Amino acid sequence: MLPEFSIAAERICSSCNLELPAGLGQLIITNSMVMMIVVMAILLSVGLMVKRTVSLVPGTIQNIAEMIIEFIDGMIEPALGPYARSRFPIVASFFIFILFSNWMSLLPFVGTVGYMGEHHGKEVLIPYIRPATADLNMTLALAFAAFVLIHSSGIGSHGLIGHFKAMAQSSWLLAPIFLLIEVFVIVSLSFRLFGNLFAGEVLLGLAGWAFPLVGVVFLMLEVIFGLIQAIIFTMLTLSFASVAIGDVEGHH
Amino acid sequence: MALHLATEAIAHAPMDLSPLGAGLAIGLAGLGAGIGIGSGVNAAMQALGRNPEAENAVRTTMIIGLGLAEAIGIYGFLISLFLALGLGG
């Protein structure tokens, strides 16, 4: 029997919705939200722990953290120029969060431990925890944040009217198309990340069902793809931001 | 007689072609993505061969280009998943 996959994230228990204030309705807690909170908790605690034990002679965790930070710095410095210092936290957050969320989708109980519920009329297993970036809501949120980063860099660099002119690329006839392309960047970024992660989940499920032992090879593939997708998201955001900032003095 | 049955089937009820659509979606998207990725890596290899010192820049640009090309294949995969799971009815 083929395993059942669901594109949308599902609620973890049927009656634990949070009531939002001011009559905004109910916040449904989904299984990918649980994973997002877990990833955030782990990253925050590791970050605080590293910060507290910072010393001139680095230990193991500080070494790894410094390696990651230097790698991200190497990506950001050539791209953002004058905004590198101020935009570093958000770009590093993109990279580290996406990387850890991608890799934590490979842990043993993610996506497999759950309760039996109904889905499209069939009784299937609904997992308690599901990879955060394999949910389109999460990647859309990340893509919106990247959009804000790109256009705030552009507006900060050229001013509002200058930024629009730079985006229209000095052709008033085609300006709407170029503006539409900027909006499409959100769709592209979010669907690329979501599609790769969700396809990886489907692949692992099918490989585990069809080739129980040899399917481990796909785990290694997913590790590589998780890293590549984190790098691609960050680098694409930086490339678009670099184009939006344009030619600035002191960086080519 | 097969032709007669086929025309009767088409006349009576629309056939659910979403599995066919699913197959075509992933097939053609894979074709496009494969050609794109292949020619991208080809260009990167040629650039590396001419100028081995530019390895970092070439590798970075190639990875970004591959990400963009692969996304198109992913779009096709997502549509095929929608259709195959019956959500596109």
Torsion of CA A6, A9, A12, A16, to 10 degrees: -140
Inter-chain touch B67–A191, beta carbons under 8 Å: no
Q: For position A199, what pLDDT does the model report? A: 86
Q: How many domains does chain B have?
A: 1
Whether residue B6 is contained in a domain is answered as: no
Query: Which residues have CB under 8 Å from A10's CB, separation 6+?
Result: A30, A31, A117, A119, A126, A127
Whether the complex's predicted ipTM is more than 0.85 is answered with no
In-domain check, residue B4: no
pLDDT score for A158: 84
Residues in B closer than 8 angstroms to A235, CB to CB, are 60, 63-64, 67
**pLDDT attached to residue A249:** 43
Quote the pLDDT of residue A12.
65
* Domain assignment of residue B74, given as a range: 18-84
Q: Is the pTM of this model over 0.90?
A: no
Residues of B (4-33) whose Cβ lies below 8 Å from A: none
Chain A, nearest residue to B64 by Cα: A232
Average pLDDT over every residue of A44-72: 84
Most confident of A91-95, B9-13, B53-57: A91-95
The angle subtended at Cα A227 by Cα A36 and Cα B32, nearest 5°, is 110
A4-13, A39-48, A198-207, B38-47: least confident range: A4-13
- Per-residue pLDDT of B65-89, as tens digits, reads 888 898 889 889 888 888 887 765 5
CB of B60 within 8 Å of a chain A CB? The answer is: yes
Give pLDDT, residue B48: 93
Least confident of A90-99, A152-161, A205-214: A205-214
Q: Give the N- to C-terminal CA distance of chain B in Å, as an integer.
A: 30
Digit-coded pLDDT (tens) for A123-136: 777 788 888 888 88
Which CATH number do you get for residue B58?
1.20.20.10
Residue B46 pLDDT level (bands cut at 50, 70, 90):
very high
Confirm whether B5 is domain-assigned: no
Q: B77 and chain A: CB distance < 8 Å anywhere?
A: yes
* 3-state SS class at A118: strand
pLDDT of residue B44: 94
B11 part of a folded domain: no
Q: Within a domain: residue B8?
A: no
Provide the CA A235 distance to its chain's centre, in angstroms: 12
Asked if A232's CB is within 8 angstroms of B64's CB, the reply is yes
